[in-house]
Amino acid sequence: MRHRTIEDRYPPLRDYALIGDGRTAALVSRDGSVDWWCLPNLDSPSIFGAVLDADRGGRFVLHPEGVVEARRRYLPDTNVLETTFTTATGRVRVTDAMTLPGLGLAPFRELARRVEGLDGRVAIRWRIEPRFGYGLAPTRIEPRTPFPVASSGGTAIAACTWQAGRVDCDRAGIAGGFEARAGTRATLAVSAAHGEPLVLPARADVEQRIDATAEFWRSWSTRLSYTGPWRDAVVRSALALKLLVFAPSGAIAAAPTTSLPELIGGERNWDYRFSWIRDASFMLESLLQLGCQAEAKAFFWWFMHATQRTLPRVNVFYRLDGGTHAPERTLPLAGYRESRPVRVGNGAADQLQLDTYGELVDAVYQYVQKGHPLGRDTGRDIARIADFVCVHWREPDSGIWEVRSEPRHHTHSKAMCWVALDRAVRLARAGRVPPGHAARWASEAAAIRRFVDERCWSDAKGSHVWYAGGEHLDASLLLLAIMRYDPPDSPRLRATVDAVRRELAAGPLLQRYTGDDGLAGGEGAFACCSFWLVEALAILGRRPDAERLMSDLVALANDVGLYAEEVEPTTGAFLGNFPQGLVHLALISAAIAMHGAAG
Amino acid sequence: MSVWGALAGGFLGTLVLTTALSAGSQLGLTRMDVPFLLGTACTDDRARARVYGYALHFLAGLAFALVYYAAFVVLGRAGWALGLAFGLAHALFSGTTLVNVLLPAVHPRMGTPSSAADSSPLLEAPGFMLLNYGRATPVLTMLAHMAYGAIVGAFVAGSAR
């Protein structure tokens, strides 16, 4: 099963699809290999990590022999993946699901794969190579009855198979093979346990859970209230985001992966399995607009609860369980296509990123605007945050892009500080936040605006710039339109949007910025920025332009409608962690803005 | 020596035993989960199973404390060291017979060597000395039961004064 070239050993990121159950998620490649799965949770160590190290990472391969074509889709309006393989001798359909427990005693986690013969005969080989602890922990594989078990420490899996051929175990894995004929059905399930005995499911129960899981997702999708343009892309994005919602806490991970590179062979490899407060504003607006009230409420309470530990200072991100400790370390893995280092944890946790405060307070403001109550304690917390912003907005920070160069006075950060104080004043006027310091907030907001007008504008560029005194542009300036820092008819805002497009565009895509960020090498175009441009154009009233761009961008998704963090502009290859929540949020937000503009 | 001392020791001992095994599980040393094992004998609902399981485990802890008490009375002496020895014997009995043989025999969702095609066991059986739940499980189980026995022994001896 080993291939020779690095491109063959590591499928393009475009070839992956995501399945999940609200606690953990797995990447399934087009050729039938599960190359990423963390147990028991999204942010736990991987058991299948071949996407980061094809030799040591571990995988679950289910591979029809002699494939000439593989077509796949999610079952409509679900997160259940269906891949149809055509070979010279027949066709076979594989359905992959991370099942939901439902009623009865179900495995702690369960990855289920159903193989149905459609035409002719197709030889199928499968092999499970569990590698606990990112491939670094000792793994013990035992040929037990009724199913083989692999374990390491407190985590174990059982390879439960039915009609999938004779099962062989060796020190490295559990394998089998069978022939799928028209009308036959085989079932393979990986039952996982963590800190408890394994649940060994009956075949009928696995089959029932696959169907019930698909039904749950269909039911969830029908609750989405969006009826505007690009509905299919919006629904797919919502389904992808739902897979990033960590159900036990309500937190939303930025992506389910770590260290998928922003440049092949480069060092820009980060762990995104945390919940960024920055995404809160986009997330809440999107969830509320889509009618996902339960998820919006859970997320709101999660981030207000998580930030309690650090208020009035707000961390850049929090662990999915609300914790703050996320030390960055590197793993001795080869990396995707030898892109090293492979990092877990994230050093950006220690950075000052002032824009976070604006996005947090704006999220609270939106939540209240939608009629949700705000407790007195939360109101006091918002007042403390506003006071904190008054004291700290003059400091340089690392900004939205978490650059690892020296802190600067980022224009976007200052503007978001203004947003924090503006929304705090509005909330105070509405009686939701103690108004005692409102006059100071208004006064400091005015000072921020003067700073941005005087120090963050370049006459030479005719535009706002990335940071005070610089001449570079960055795509976060588009958020000045989206976050309503300036009104749509502001000449400076319109000039800035035009300048950003002029200088950062690469086809329909946008680069994040020009200029040094403290890291070696370049990167692809940042997909979310391109959707921000769509939204900014819609807000400025340039709807035809925005529509054309939106159509181009929607076409850049992979065959199952997912986006990575970045897209290589010339080849369309995906780069960075996959799928990235912020991109899907930006897509939803852009579509909603277009729909609103049309209305 | 008094029954009340035995019951108080049984309660505290079970608390320590449960906490020790739970800590072992959190530390990734074992997948032994006594409340889960006991509770799933009553229900297939995970949340309820844990609640029932904790209740059953504490009842069992009190019952075993009474057995220990009877043994102390027969021997005419009690103390933490003797309780420790009882605990070791208790752990060996649990690992080889009670949880390994008797629990699967009565647990409706756990397989045994005699399970046939007409049954669909759901739960992983513990195996000899509970080794299926991790290599450190026998040691942890023994230490936890020895602590339980020592506490019961100390309480029974203390209640005599």
**Residue A154 to residue B134, Cβ atoms within 8 A:** yes
**Residue A153 to residue B28, Cβ atoms within 8 A:** yes
**Residue B122 to residue A158, Cβ atoms within 8 A:** no
* Closest Cα in chain A to B133: A197
pLDDT: which is higher, B116 or A268: A268
DSSP structure string for A412-474: HHHHHHHHHHHHHHHHHHTTSS-GGGHHHHHHHHHHHHHHHHHHSEETTTTEE-SBTT----B
Q: A185 is written with which tokens?
A: 């059905």
Cα separation, A230 vs A285, in Å, equals 18
Q: Are A200 and A110 in contact (CB under 8 A)?
A: no
Does CATH number 1.50.10.10 belong to domain A223-598? yes
Bridge partners of A510?
A505
How many C-beta atoms surround the C-beta of residue A372 within 10 A? 15
Of A101, A154, A193, the CB nearest to B28: A154
How many C-beta atoms surround the C-beta of residue A51 within 10 A? 28
Cα separation, A548 vs A555, in Å, equals 11
For the segment A268-290, the average pLDDT, to the nearest whole number, is 88
Interface check B37 vs A, CB under 8 A: yes
CA–CA min distance B68, chain A (Å): 29
A-chain CB neighbours of B37 within 8 Å are 197
Q: Judge whether residue A522 has pLDDT over 80.
A: no
Cα separation, A193 vs A342, in Å, equals 26
Q: Judge whether residue A342 has pLDDT over 50.
A: yes
Cα separation, B52 vs B35, in Å, equals 7
**Residue B124 to residue A202, Cβ atoms within 8 A:** no
For the segment A261-284, the average pLDDT, to the nearest whole number, is 89
pLDDT at A288: 87
**Residue A158 to residue B124, Cβ atoms within 8 A:** yes
Burial class (CB in 10 A: 0-12, 13-18, 19+), A247: middle
Among A184-193, A254-263, A341-350, the minimum mean pLDDT is found in: A341-350
Q: Judge whether residue A101 has pLDDT over 70.
A: yes
Tens of pLDDT along B6-31? 999 999 999 999 999 999 988 888 99
| A2 pLDDT tier (thresholds 50, 70, 90) | very low
Interface check A156 vs B, CB under 8 A: yes
CATH architecture of the domain with range A6-221: Distorted Sandwich (2.70)
CA–CA min distance A42, chain B (Å): 17
Please give the angle made by the CA atoms of A433, A439 and A444, to the nearest 5 degrees.
105
Alpha carbon A576 to its chain centroid, in Å, reads: 11
Tell me what the pLDDT averaged over chain B comes to.
90
Q: Judge whether residue A221 has pLDDT over 50.
A: yes
pLDDT at A520: 63
| A356 pLDDT tier (thresholds 50, 70, 90) | very high
Burial class (CB in 10 A: 0-12, 13-18, 19+), A24: buried
Q: Are A266 and A339 in contact (CB under 8 A)?
A: yes
How many C-beta atoms surround the C-beta of residue B105 within 10 A? 10
CB pairs under 8 A between A and B: 73
CA–CA min distance B85, chain A (Å): 28
B-chain CB neighbours of A101 within 8 Å are 46
pLDDT at A538: 96
CB contact residues (below 8 A), chain A span 535-554, against chain B: none
Q: A258 is written with which tokens?
A: 């770590």
Strands A245-246 and A251-252: antiparallel
**Residue A195 to residue B33, Cβ atoms within 8 A:** yes
Interface test with A, best of B19, B27, B29, B31 (most A CBs within 10 A): B31
Q: What residue type is B19 in one-letter code?
A: T
CA–CA min distance B3, chain A (Å): 34
**Residue B124 to residue A201, Cβ atoms within 8 A:** no
Report which of A97, A106, A107 is spatially closest to residue A25, judged by C-alpha positions.
A97
pLDDT at B46: 85
Of B37, B44, B45, the CB nearest to A197: B37
Interface check A196 vs B, CB under 8 A: yes
Task: Give the C-alpha distances (Å, rounded to integers) separating A505 from A478, A498, A529, A570, B31.
Answer: 13, 10, 10, 12, 53
Interface check A39 vs B, CB under 8 A: no
Q: A454 is written with which tokens?
A: 């005087």
Among A246-250, A259-263, A555-559, the minimum mean pLDDT is found in: A246-250
**Residue A193 to residue B31, Cβ atoms within 8 A:** yes
DSSP code for A14: G
pLDDT at B122: 79
Task: Give the C-alpha distances (Å, rounded to integers) separating B59 from A426, A589, B152.
Answer: 58, 56, 14
pLDDT at A519: 64
Cα separation, A513 vs A599, in Å, equals 33
Report which of A409, A433, A408 is spatially closest to residue A422, judged by C-alpha positions.
A433
Tens of pLDDT along A435-483? 999 999 999 999 999 999 999 999 999 999 999 999 999 999 999 999 9
| A324 pLDDT tier (thresholds 50, 70, 90) | confident
| Cβ-Cβ contacts under 8 Å for A229 (sequence gap 6 or more) | A547, A550, A591, A594, A595, A598
pLDDT at B118: 60
A-chain CB neighbours of B123 within 8 Å are 105, 197-200
Cα separation, A429 vs A97, in Å, equals 49
Q: Judge whether residue A241 has pLDDT over 80.
A: yes
For the segment A73-97, the average pLDDT, to the nearest whole number, is 97
Cα separation, B123 vs A105, in Å, equals 9
pLDDT at A333: 97
Interface check B134 vs A, CB under 8 A: yes
For the segment A306-313, the average pLDDT, to the nearest whole number, is 86
pLDDT: which is higher, A573 or A309: A573
Q: What residue type is A492 in one-letter code?
A: R
Interface test with B, best of A105, A132, A157, A209 (most B CBs within 10 A): A105
DSSP structure string for chain B: --HHHHHHHHHHHHHHHHHHHHHHHHTTS----HHHHHHTTT-S-HHHHHHHHHHHHHHHHHHHHHHHHHHHHHHT---HHHHHHHHHHHHHHIIIIIIIIIHHHH-TTB--TT--TT----BPP--GGGGGG-TTHHHHHHHHHHHHHHHHHHHHHHTT-
Interface check A194 vs B, CB under 8 A: yes
pLDDT at B51: 93
Interface check A146 vs B, CB under 8 A: yes
The helix (H) or strand (E) run that includes residue A98 is strand A90-98
Helix axes A376-392, A355-369, angle to 10 degrees: 150
pLDDT at B115: 62
CA–CA min distance A208, chain B (Å): 15
CA–CA min distance A201, chain B (Å): 5
Share of chain A above pLDDT 90, in %: 80
Cα separation, A254 vs A244, in Å, equals 7
Cα separation, A300 vs A269, in Å, equals 29
**Residue A193 to residue B124, Cβ atoms within 8 A:** yes
pLDDT at A278: 86
| Cβ-Cβ contacts under 8 Å for A328 (sequence gap 6 or more) | A271, A343, A344, A345, A346, A347, A349
Among A30-39, A375-384, A513-522, B125-134, the minimum mean pLDDT is found in: A513-522
What are the structural domain ranges in chain B? 3-109+123-158
Q: Is A8 left (phi over 0), alpha (psi -120 to 50) or beta?
A: alpha
B-chain CB neighbours of A41 within 8 Å are none
Interface check B114 vs A, CB under 8 A: no
**Residue B124 to residue A151, Cβ atoms within 8 A:** no
Q: Are A595 and A229 in contact (CB under 8 A)?
A: yes
The helix (H) or strand (E) run that includes residue A127 is strand A109-129
Q: A309 is written with which tokens?
A: 């530990």
Tens of pLDDT along A387-414? 999 999 999 999 998 887 889 999 999 9
The helix (H) or strand (E) run that includes residue A380 is helix A376-392
Q: What residue type is A161 in one-letter code?
A: T
B-chain CB neighbours of A202 within 8 Å are 120, 122
Q: Judge whether residue A318 has pLDDT over 80.
A: yes
Interface test with A, best of B33, B124, B137, B141 (most A CBs within 10 A): B124
Report which of A592, A519, A522 is spatially closest to residue A550, judged by C-alpha positions.
A592
Assembly ipTM: 0.78
CA–CA min distance B59, chain A (Å): 21
Strands A168-169 and A245-246: unpaired
What are the structural domain ranges in chain A? 6-221, 223-598
**Residue B30 to residue A154, Cβ atoms within 8 A:** yes
Q: Are A324 and A315 in contact (CB under 8 A)?
A: yes
Of B31, B32, B121, the CB nearest to A200: B121
CA–CA min distance B38, chain A (Å): 12
Cα separation, A272 vs A319, in Å, equals 10
pLDDT at B116: 57
Q: A144 is written with which tokens?
A: 């037990």
Q: Judge whether residue A206 has pLDDT over 50.
A: yes
For the segment A197-215, the average pLDDT, to the nearest whole number, is 95
CA–CA min distance A192, chain B (Å): 11
Strands A505-506 and A509-510: antiparallel
pLDDT at B127: 87
CA–CA min distance B112, chain A (Å): 10
Q: Are B149 and B68 in contact (CB under 8 A)?
A: yes
**Residue B134 to residue A153, Cβ atoms within 8 A:** yes
Among A81-85, A495-499, A502-506, the minimum mean pLDDT is found in: A502-506
| A303 pLDDT tier (thresholds 50, 70, 90) | confident
Cα separation, A50 vs A28, in Å, equals 11
DSSP code for A79: S
Of B27, B31, B122, the CB nearest to A156: B31
For the segment A544-565, the average pLDDT, to the nearest whole number, is 96
Cα separation, A353 vs A315, in Å, equals 8
The helix (H) or strand (E) run that includes residue A141 is strand A140-142
How many C-beta atoms surround the C-beta of residue A183 within 10 A? 9
**Residue A196 to residue B49, Cβ atoms within 8 A:** no
Tens of pLDDT along A413-429? 999 999 999 999 999 99
CB contact residues (below 8 A), chain B span 47-106, against chain A: 49
For the segment A119-140, the average pLDDT, to the nearest whole number, is 97
